[in-house]
Amino acid sequence: MKAKLVVIILIINCTAALSLWGFFRASISLGEWRRDIKTRNNLAAQAARGDKAAGIHLDKGILGDRKKFESALESLKEKYRKITAADSLVYLKIPEAEFLKSFISYFFLLNNAGGDEVVLDDEIVNKFRNQGILLYSMDKRYPFMKKSIYLEPRHKTRNKPEVRVGTNVIIIFFESLSKFFLRDDVYGIKGLTPNIKDMQQHSYSFSNMYNAAFPTVKGLIAALGSSSYLLDENIGGTRIRIPCRFLFLSSILKSLDYTTTHIQAGSERFIGMKTFFTEREGYDNFYGSESLALKNIGHLAEGFGVDDTALFNYVVDWLEDYSSNKPFLLTVSTINMHPPFKITDRNPDAGDNDLLNSLYSTDKAFGRFWSYFKKSKLRNNTLVIVTADHAMGNNKDYIAFANKYRSYFKPFFDLIPCFVYFPGGAWAGKSNDTACLNLDIVPTLLDMMNLDLPNPFIGLPIFSGRQYYERGSGSIFDVKIDLDEKRLEGERKVLGFYFHLYRTDRIIPPDYKVRFN
């Protein structure tokens, strides 16, 4: 089962990341019925011609049943074990939405990803550029490095909120908080998220943001480092060692004399989080469930770490005790909505639905922080971002709940909230509907702070560039593919390109120093 879950996470994650790279276009408006009919017609036509399809048809009905989903993926894996590299054209027989998952499965079964350096040709580089990703512009050894967060200087605008350097920054990542969970106008259960909604009313909203990665550690890399990380080969327990370094917001603000702290409800040791944050990404402090338990803020119970009530109590205590004259970056990760769900409070209208009660519990816990914050001096000198680490996965509780609202059922990759409270409540109630990804959070924050620097980001400032480039949707149902053998080989090059950079630690140079333009 553990191996299956790793394969599932790998396949789904790579699907989303590749959606950013410009080899296909998303079509959110295309109805599921039309896609399903087209897929089945294509399969029937292929069968009539005697073609041998090596793929399988995975629709929402299959994805909505976890056992069927795992069985289908295992079946797909078995089929691709029998395929040799010479049979690359077989990929063209696979239903459109399944190409990438099938391709990634095959690619990893070859077990040679990232072994050799891959230099992308001009055609592929130009396709990246059209998606807003600039390659080979500074140093061919570090292809993602570029001179500015702005791809075009003329895209920089003054028509945006501005944030003074020295302003405290708090970023709260809610576990698995798809934006759908805030749509009580759709599912009809009121009062599950009153505190998050109150925060939204006091904030500026990015209303059209998708998550670009899954699960949590990759979601944090996307949001805090504007980068995509695909390797899953060692994920499990405490054994992961991410082999490369990214440019996190923490390193940038630390160069401006900020103190950097991460607090999470999960374990400090799980997938090497504490080591990654403190040794790789320059965080000054990292507190997980072990630290919270030792300080009697919470206790370790069933599931991962402590509950969110303990987490936000610790956050408030940390803020109250912070006495340094330095500004701070504080990032926070919740846990209640991670299966098995943690429930500290129940909403009568949610009944015995553990998923919704965990949502209610995490909101009530957040209310402890939000009530404190609104009354504290921090409200006038602190920017607060509330978002999600990623969308909800297709666990049985989510399937049972969201499957009732088919057009909103988008497991793994979906719209996520992104609310920004500006000091003093400036810009409250305003919103921006630019199609964007959580990869864009850090470039956007730097843009608002009028900071620019050489960087390896694949995201763009939402106010000063994102609107000029396409956003590939992360949803696996929104993939439209029309590939020939040449483009197929291009996809393989891109994967090898990424994996080699990860394994040789070539996202940023080892001697990289933050220097502002």
**CA pair distance 58, 502, nearest whole angstrom:** 30
Give yes or no for residue 359 having a pLDDT over 50: yes
**CA pair distance 242, 250, nearest whole angstrom:** 17
Contact 146, 137 (CB under 8 A): yes
**CA pair distance 15, 100, nearest whole angstrom:** 6
Q: Which residues are bridge partners to 421 per DSSP?
A: 384
> Which residue in 44, 31, 23 sits closest to 95, CA to CA?
44
Q: What is the pLDDT of residues 98-153, one digit of tens each?
A: 334 444 444 443 444 567 888 999 988 998 898 899 999 999 999 999 999 999 99
Give yes or no for residue 391 having a pLDDT over 70: yes
Residue type, 256: L
H-only helix segments in 268-423? 273-275, 289-294, 308-321, 354-375, 396-402
To which residue do tokens 């006495």 refer?
323
| pTM attached to this predicted model | 0.81
Please tell me the predicted confidence (pLDDT) of residue 187.
95
**CA pair distance 179, 181, nearest whole angstrom:** 5
The set of residues, in sequence order, having a beta carbon less than 8 Å from that of 249 and lying 6+ positions away, is 169, 224, 225, 329, 442, 445
Please tell me the predicted confidence (pLDDT) of residue 37.
45
Please tell me the predicted confidence (pLDDT) of residue 508.
98
**CA pair distance 11, 514, nearest whole angstrom:** 34
> Which residue in 332, 325, 227, 217 sits closest to 285, CA to CA?
332
pLDDT band at 156 (very low <50, low <70, confident <90, very high): very high
Peptide bond just before 348 cis, omega within 30 deg: no
Q: What is the pLDDT of residues 219-264, one digit of tens each?
A: 999 999 999 987 754 434 444 578 899 999 999 999 999 999 999 9
Task: Quote the tokens at residue 220.
Answer: 């944090």
To which residue do tokens 């149902």 refer?
477
- Reported as type and span, the H/E element at residue 209 is strand 209-210
Domains of the chain: 2-117+477-503 (no CATH), 168-468 (3.40.720.10)
Residue type, 69: F
What backbone phi and psi angles, to 5 degrees, belong to 388? -120, 155
Report the SS3 class of residue 402: helix
Give the largest Cα separation in the chain, rounded: 74
**CA pair distance 341, 329, nearest whole angstrom:** 28
Give yes or no for residue 211 having a pLDDT over 70: yes
Average pLDDT value for residue range 159-169: 98
Please tell me the predicted confidence (pLDDT) of residue 70.
66
Q: What's the mean per-residue pLDDT of the chain?
A: 80
Task: Quote the tokens at residue 168.
Answer: 């405290």
Give yes or no for residue 51 having a pLDDT over 50: no
Give yes or no for residue 276 having a pLDDT over 70: yes
Please tell me the predicted confidence (pLDDT) of residue 242.
84
Q: What is the 3-state secondary structure (H, E, C) of 48-83?
A: HHCCCCCCCCCCHHHHCCHHHHHHHHHHHHHHHHCC
**CA pair distance 201, 197, nearest whole angstrom:** 6
Q: What is the pLDDT of residues 402-437, one digit of tens each?
A: 888 988 888 888 999 999 999 999 999 999 999 999
> Which residue in 298, 370, 379, 371 sits closest to 335, CA to CA?
298
Higher per-residue confidence, 478 vs 100: 100
Please tell me the predicted confidence (pLDDT) of residue 89.
40
pLDDT band at 349 (very low <50, low <70, confident <90, very high): very high
Q: Work out whether strand 259-264 and strand 285-287 pair parallel, antiparallel, or are unpaired.
A: parallel
Q: What is the pLDDT of residues 310-325, one digit of tens each?
A: 999 999 999 999 999 9
Task: Quote the tokens at residue 275.
Answer: 């080591």
Counting residues of the chain whose pLDDT is more than 70, the rounded percentage is 70
Residue type, 477: F
Average pLDDT value for residue range 456-462: 97
Residue type, 371: S
Task: Quote the tokens at residue 343.
Answer: 């429930």
Tell me the chain's radius of gyration from C-alpha atoms. 22
What number of other Cβ atoms are within 10 A of residue 273's Cβ? 23
**CA pair distance 235, 233, nearest whole angstrom:** 6
Q: What is the pLDDT of residues 280-297, one digit of tens each?
A: 999 999 999 988 877 656
Give yes or no for residue 350 having a pLDDT over 90: yes
Average pLDDT value for residue range 197-211: 97
Please tell me the predicted confidence (pLDDT) of residue 227.
95
Q: Which of 58-72, 263-277, 431-445 has the highest mean pLDDT?
A: 431-445
Please tell me the predicted confidence (pLDDT) of residue 249.
99
Give yes or no for residue 75 having a pLDDT over 70: no
**CA pair distance 223, 390, nearest whole angstrom:** 10
